[in-house]
Amino acid sequence: MKMEGMIIRAFFSIFLFISVFYSYSCSNASNGKPEENIPHYDTLRIAFTGDILLDRGVRKFIEKHSVDSLFRPEIDSVFAANNFVVGNLECPATSIVSPINKRFIFRGEPDWLQALYEHGITHLNLANNHSMDQGRRGLADTESQIRKHGIIPLGYGTTIAESIEPQLLAETPRKVYLITSLRVPSENWEYLDSVPCVSESSIATIESQIDSLKRLDSKCFVFVMLHWGVEHISTPSHYQVRDAHRLVAAGADCIVGHHPHCLQTVENYNGIPIYYSIGNFIFDQKKPINTRAAIVTATLTADSASFEMLPVEIENCVPRLVEE
């Protein structure tokens, strides 16, 4: 019995040593070297595109050609020159077919997201009026598929609080946040808590979020991306202008909009750029008002910000850069 007890104690000591050593090694791994992998930017470059559709006429184009064929070399070059590329995914990307009752219902194939990632798109906004076209299961699966293919989803959550949370894009050269919201009515879709949903933040809520971020760090940069406005109208509505001015007064540093499927006015309000709508990006609409669009690029340093608007023309679903 004495010998048996000694063996048990020895075994326990060895087990304890191994456990402590393993814990220490893991602690070193998590608190040491991984920090070296956090990107550091002296200058941060971000590109914003308009609506990306992967159904209807675009689906036919992909099936005839390929997803890669949607990206021309000059678009790839623009994306490659930016650290982040933010697009608005105007459809679910899911194999789940569970359409809700509405007029226009879209669905893209989830495997097609791989090409978007490979061509440089880093973030996809889901806070729009088509992300839920295949119901809540389709919405949740779309978010999962986006992550699976290496892209970061925006404006989604399993609760309202999660869906409206500002996204921290980068910590250098200063903290950069992006707030997104769907600001047009959704057909046959209830804005419910504790179920998959997209951000439908009110302007007052966004104002409060901006104020909180600026109080914590007055030098942080806040982008606001809104799905708003009236379709096929090239001038912003009264409520867009009113709300944009409120957000600038609250501290927004740049506002980028989409939903009208066309370019709208660009305003510089108190030194802050407001791109009311940058139009489509990958889309099948063929009227001239719908084929003119833009990519907006932002270049940020610790104490400066500059912006450029690159004109785009969409031909047979494919965006290309054009001279002004």
- Domain residue ranges of the chain, discontinuous segments joined by +: 1-38, 41-321
Which whole number is the average pLDDT over 29-53? 76
Which whole number is the average pLDDT over 13-21? 40
Helical spans, DSSP H, in 120-192: 135-148, 160-163
Q: Buried (b) or exposed (e) across 107-121, using 16+ Cβ within 10 A?
A: bbbbebbbbbeebbb
| Interval 242-264: pLDDT, tens | 999 999 999 999 999 999 999 99
What is the SS3 assignment for 113? helix
**pLDDT, greater one: 215 or 37:** 215
Q: Six-digit token pair at 82? A: 């930016």
| Interval 55-110: pLDDT, tens | 999 999 999 999 999 999 999 999 999 999 999 999 999 999 999 999 999 999 99
14-18, 46-50, 83-87, 184-188: which range is least confident on average?
A: 14-18
pLDDT (0 to 100) of residue 224: 99
pLDDT (0 to 100) of residue 186: 85
CA neighbours within 13 Å on the CB side: how many for 287?
9
**CB atoms near residue 170 (< 10 Å):** 19
What is the average pLDDT value for the chain, to the nearest integer?
91
pTM (two decimals): 0.89
Of the candidate CATH numbers 3.60.21.10, 3.40.630.30, 3.40.50.2000, 3.30.750.24, the domain formed by 41-321 belongs to 3.60.21.10
Q: Yes or no: say if 45 and 297 are a contact pair by the CB < 8 Å rule.
A: yes
Rounded-to-integer distance, Cα 169 and Cα 213, Å: 13
Rounded-to-integer distance, Cα 293 and Cα 94, Å: 27
Phi, psi of 285, rounded to the nearest 5 degrees: -70, 140
pLDDT (0 to 100) of residue 2: 45
pLDDT (0 to 100) of residue 24: 35
| Interval 130-180: pLDDT, tens | 999 999 999 999 999 999 999 999 999 999 999 999 999 999 999 999 999
Instruction: Please calculate the CA angle 256-261-262 and round it to the nearest 5 degrees.
Output: 80
CA-atom Rg of the chain in angstroms: 23
pLDDT (0 to 100) of residue 35: 43
Contacts of 229 by beta carbon, 8 Å cutoff, 6+ apart: 184, 236, 237, 240, 257, 259, 260, 264, 276, 277
pLDDT (0 to 100) of residue 179: 98
What is the SS3 assignment for 108? strand
What is the SS3 assignment for 15? helix
Q: Buried (b) or exposed (e) across 211-239, using 16+ Cβ within 10 A?
A: eebbeeeeebbbbbbbbbbbeeeeebeee
pLDDT (0 to 100) of residue 37: 67
| Interval 167-221: pLDDT, tens | 999 999 999 999 999 999 988 899 999 999 999 999 999 999 999 999 999 999 9
Cα→Cα distances 130→16, 170, 291, Å: 55, 28, 20
pLDDT (0 to 100) of residue 14: 43
